[in-house]
């Protein structure tokens, strides 16, 4: 069933159609949110909130853009709102992750080094300017084409290309002393 048909069914009161819609998009949205928050629990909570928001505001969807574009816009906005209101909590979580990661393949020192490297990369991604981060996450986590990213972000394809280029340069600058190119 196409998105348009599903939306018609949902607005007519068919909740089973909404379940189908969620099953279709849950992995994509979850991956996108993971790019912003990096923790499974938070990503699940936000994905859940996104679907509830979509259900409540589905009647406002005009069909001017693709449904998936509208869905990604809501997801990105809600993820950014979450990050803005949970800065302290996230700092504690990233420090906690350093001491709780366990791997059977690595010795404790390697484990700690690996956790520290992950923390630096996440920090570098999180410190990118908002638009660069949005473009980077949609491109790398969701592997969306530039045209689609441009539609989600309401920018031209050229602007998105520039944002991606700058994001790459910024990440290299921030990480090259410790991680390398």
Partner 1 sequence: MQREHPIDELIRREKETEPNPFLVTRVMAKIEGAKKMRSSAPLWQSLTLAAGIAAVAFLGVSIGNSYVENGTTAIALNINDRQIENLGYYNFGDDEQGQ
Contact 37, 47 (CB under 8 A): no
Q: How far is residue 4's CA from residue 58's CA, in Å, rounded to a whole number?
A: 11
Instruction: Considering the complex, state which of residue 73 and residue 122 has its C-beta at the smaller distance from partner 1.
Output: 122
In residues, how long is the chain?
181
Residue number, 1 or 52, with CB nearest to partner 1: 52
Closest approach, Cβ 109 to partner 1, in A, equals 17
Distance, CA of 153 to CA of 114 (rounded, Å): 33
DSSP 63-88: SSS-HHHHHHHHHHHHHHHHHHH-HH
Map residues 6-35 to x or -, x wherever contact with partner 1 holds by CB under 8 A: ---------x--xx--xx--xx--xx--xx
**Which of 45, 65 has the CB closer to partner 1?**
45
Closest to 10 measured CA to CA, from 47, 59, 48, 49:
59
Piece in contact with partner 1 (CB under 8 A), picked from 44-52, 69-77, 104-112, 150-158: 44-52
Binding partner 1 by CB under 8 A: which of 3, 9, 48, 68?
48
Instruction: Kindly tell me the sign of the dihedral angle through the C-alpha atoms of 175, 145, 47, 20.
Output: negative
Q: Is 95 in the site for partner 1 (CB under 8 A)?
A: no
- In the complex, the residues that contact partner 1 under the rule CB under 8 A are 15, 18-19, 22-23, 26-27, 30-31, 34-35, 38, 40, 43-44, 47-48, 51-52, 55, 117-118, 121-122, 140-141, 171, 175, 179
């Amino acid at each position: 069933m196409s998105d348009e048909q599903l939306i018609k069914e949902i607005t007519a009161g068919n909740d089973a159609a909404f379940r189908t819609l969620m099953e279709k998009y849950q992995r994509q949205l979850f991956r996108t949110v993971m790019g912003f928050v990096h923790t499974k629990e938070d990503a699940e909570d936000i994905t859940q909130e996104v679907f509830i928001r979509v259900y409540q505001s589905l009647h406002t969807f005009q069909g001017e853009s693709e449904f998936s574009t509208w869905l990604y816009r809501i997801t990105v906005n809600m993820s950014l709102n979450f990050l803005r209101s949970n800065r302290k909590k996230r700092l504690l979580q990233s420090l906690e992750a350093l001491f709780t990661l366990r791997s059977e393949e690595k010795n404790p020192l390697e484990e700690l080094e690996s956790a520290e490297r992950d923390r630096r990369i996440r920090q570098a991604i999180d410190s990118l300017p908002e638009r660069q981060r949005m473009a980077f996450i949609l491109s790398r986590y969701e592997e969306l084409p530039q045209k689609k990213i441009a539609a989600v972000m309401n920018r031209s394809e050229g602007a998105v290309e520039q944002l991606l280029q700058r994001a790459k340069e910024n990440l290299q600058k921030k990480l090259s002393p410790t991680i390398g190119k």
